[in-house]
Chain A
Amino acid sequence: MPRSDFWSGLAVAGFGLLALLWMIPNYAGTNPFARMPPGLVPSIGAWAMVICGGIIAAKGLIQMLRAGHAPFTADLHWGAVAWAAWPFAYVAVAIWFMSFIKITWFGAFLIGGMLVLLGERRWWMILGCSVVPVVLLYILSVYMMRTGVV
C-alpha cells in the first residue's frame, strides 16, 4: 500500500498542479466584473487534489522509508499487467470500429470475440450470448425509442 499510495498521490497532486498552473489560467476564462471568477470553483477542486495528493504521497513515502521499502524497485508481473490491459485494448479497438460501423451490426462479433478470449468454447453459448443482446438493443432503439439503428 505505501508504494501505491506514494505513486497515486503523486499523480493526483501532479494533475492538480497541472490544472492550477496551465488548465485554469488558460481555459477557465475571466470575468473582471464578477465577484466570483469562473476559475474559483475549479481552483478549489485543483487545490484539494494538490494538498490531499501531496499528503497521500508524503505519507506513503514516510511509511516506505520507515519500513525500508525502496520506492522504485517494485517488480512488475508482466503477465498480470497484460491480462489487466487486454480488455481495455479490446474495447478501444471496438470504439475505433464504431466510428465506421454501427454497434448493432458488429455487436455480436464484439461479444462473441470477448467470450472466446475469456475462455468460452461452447458454440451455442457464444451464439446465444452474442445475438440476444444485439436483438434487444435493436428492439429498444428501433421500436421503443424510435431513434433508429445505433
Chain B
Amino acid sequence: MNFSAVGAAVSEALTLASFIGIGGGVLLGYIVGVIPGLSRSVAISIAIPMTFYMSPFIAISFLIGLSKGTAAGSAVSAILLNAPGEASSAATALDGYPMAKQGKPKTALQIGLIASVLGDILATIILIFVAIPFARVALLFGPYEMAAILAFALVFIAGLSGGNIFKGLAAGGLGIFLGTIGLDNQTGLPRLTFGYTELMDGMPLIAVAIGTLALSEMFVQSEKLRYDRANMSVALKKDSTDRITWPIFRNILPTILRGTGVGTFVGALPGLGPSVGSFMSYGMAQKAAKDPETFGKGNPKGIAASESADNAVIPAALIPLFGLGIPGNVSAALLIGAFAIHGITVGPLLLRDNPELLYSIFAGMILASVIMLALGWFGLMFFAQITRVPPHVVIPIVIFFCLAGMMLQGYGTFGLIILMAFALLGYLMKKYDYSFVTFLVAFIITPMLELNLRQSIILSRGNVAILLDRPIALIFIACTALALITLIIRTFRTDKAAAGAPTSE
C-alpha cells in the first residue's frame, strides 16, 4: 500500500471543504430519505448537476454521503409513518412502527441509526480491504475477460433486479440500443443520431437518469395521490425512558454484525439491491431468534437486522464498481456517470492512475458515516418533523429541480424534450414492471462493453478458439449461459405458479 498516498488522502478528507461537501450530502440525503417516495436514485440523479462545480473528490464523496444519508433517513419515515422512504426500509417498518406505536419511537429511531452507522462503517472497511486487491487482479484482465464479465453482470442484473428475466432482458436490450447512440468510436461517424447534432455525444446521461428515475417517479407519485393522501406520523415526545440503553445495544449487536455480513454479501453481487439484503437479514434474524413470534410486533432486533443490512449494501455495491468498473445497482451506475462528468474512468484503472482519489473517497466514506451518526443523533426531532411534509408539496419542487438540473447541464430545450421522453419511458417501465435498473445499467456500460467486444474481435481476428487460452473469459461465458438458462426456468416456474393462483383481472 502506498502510505504517502493514504496520508494525503486522509488529510484531504479532513479539510473544511470536505466536511461541508460530505456533511451537506449526508444532510440532504437524510432529508430526502425521510420523505416517503423520494428514493436514493432520485436524490443522486437530481444532485449530480449540483456537483459540477465541486472537485472530483468532494463531488463523489458528496454523492456517496447522499446515498448513505438516504439509507439512514428512510428508516425515520418507516418507523414514524409506517411508510418507508425506500423499499429497502420496508422491513424496518415491520418492527419499527409497532415499537413507535408502543410509545418508544425515539428508541426505535436510535436503534435504526446505530445499526445503520455500524453496518455502514464495517462494510466500508470491508470495501477498502477487498476492492484494492480486487482491482489489482482486475488490472490483469484483457478485453476478452472484461467483455465476458460485463455480459455476465448484465444478465445477472436483468434476472435478479426484477421478477421476470424476459422483461429484464428487454429493458437491457433497450438500454444497449440507446447506449450506442452518438459518434462511433471506430469510424468517427454519427450513429443513430437521426441528423441531430445534439446527439453526437450520445444520449445525455443526465437526461436519461433524471427522466427515468426522478421525473417519472414524481409522475407515479402524483398518480398515487388520487388514491392515497394519508400522512399519519407518530409524534416524538420528551420521555427520559424512551432511549437506547446498554442492555438493548448488547442485545442487538450480534444481529447488527449478522446484518452487516448479509448486506455486504448481497451488495457485492450485481443486481441484488438493498431490499433483498434487508429482507434476507430480517428473515435470518427472525430464524435465529429465541422469540421469533415477537418479530413484527416491535422487536428491536428486527429494526437492527434490516437497517444494518440496508446500509451495508451501499459500500459493498462499490466493490464491483471500484474493482471491475461494473455498477451493481442504479446508485453505482449513477456514480459512474458522475465520475465520467469529472473526467475520471472508474474501475481498476482508477487504482493505477489515480490512487490518491480512491483513498480520499474511502476516507470520505468513513467521514460520512461519522457525520451520519452525529446528524442522526442530534437531529432526530428535526427529521421527525420532516415526515409530516405531505407528498403533494414535494412533487412540484422535485419536478422543478429535475428541469433546473437539465438547464444547469446546458442542454436547452432539446435536452428537456429528451428528459420528458425518458420520464415517459421510466413511467411506463415502472407501470408495466420492466426493470429500469437493468435499462440504466445497460445504457451506462454499453460503451465499455462495445469497446471490449471490438478489441476482442480485432485481437482474435474473429477466431473463437482463442477463448480456450483465456480461462477466466471462458468461465464467465459459461456462467452467463448458465445464469440465463436458470433464470429463464425460474421465470417460467414463477409464472406457472402465478397462473394457478386466482387473478384480479
B-contacting residues of A (Cβ < 8 Å)?
1-5, 8-9, 12, 15-16, 19, 23-24, 27-29, 31, 34-36, 38, 41-42, 44-49, 52-53, 55-56, 59, 63, 66-67, 69, 80, 83-84, 87-88, 91-92, 94-95, 98-99, 102-103, 107, 110-112, 114-115, 118-120, 125, 129, 133-134, 137, 140-141, 144-147, 150
Contact = CB atoms under 8 A, between A and B. Distances in A.
B226 A80 contact: yes
B420 A95 contact: yes
Contacts of A12: 170, 174, 434
Given A8-B434, A45-B173, A69-B505, A111 B458 contact: no
Classify the interface of chain A: helix, strand, loop or mixed. helix
Interface of B: 50, 52-53, 164, 166-167, 169-170, 172-180, 184, 186-187, 189-194, 215, 218-219, 222-223, 225-226, 229, 392-393, 395-397, 399-401, 403-404, 407-408, 410, 413, 416-417, 420, 423-424, 427-428, 432, 434, 442, 446, 449-450, 453-454, 457-458, 461-462, 495, 498-499, 503, 505
A12 B449 CA distance: 23
B289 to A, nearest CB: 36
B447 to A, nearest CB: 9
Contact of B50 (A35, A114, A129, A140): A140
Given A4-B432, A88-B219, A99-B413, A38 B404 contact: no
Contact of B495 (A31, A59, A120): A59
A129 B394 CA distance: 9
A147 B396 contact: no
Given A23-B192, A41-B449, A35 B169 contact: no
Contacts of B223: 83-84, 87
Given A31-B186, A94-B403, A42 B192 contact: yes
Contacts of A87: 218-219, 222-223, 395, 399
Most chain A Cβ neighbours within 10 Å, of B166, B172, B193, B432: B166
Contacts of B458: 35-36
Given A8-B434, A115-B396, A133-B400, A38 B191 contact: yes
A41 B222 contact: no
Contacts, number: 196
B396 A111 contact: yes
Nearest to B498: A1
Contacts of A5: 432
Nearest to A23: B192
B192 A44 contact: no
A23 B180 CA distance: 12
Nearest to A46: B177
A42 B192 CA distance: 9
Contact of A29 (B191, B225, B403, B420): B191
Nearest to A58: B166
B407 A45 contact: no
Given A35-B458, A48-B176, A56-B167, A119 B392 contact: yes
B410 A98 contact: no
Given A1-B505, A35-B461, A87-B222, A144 B53 contact: yes
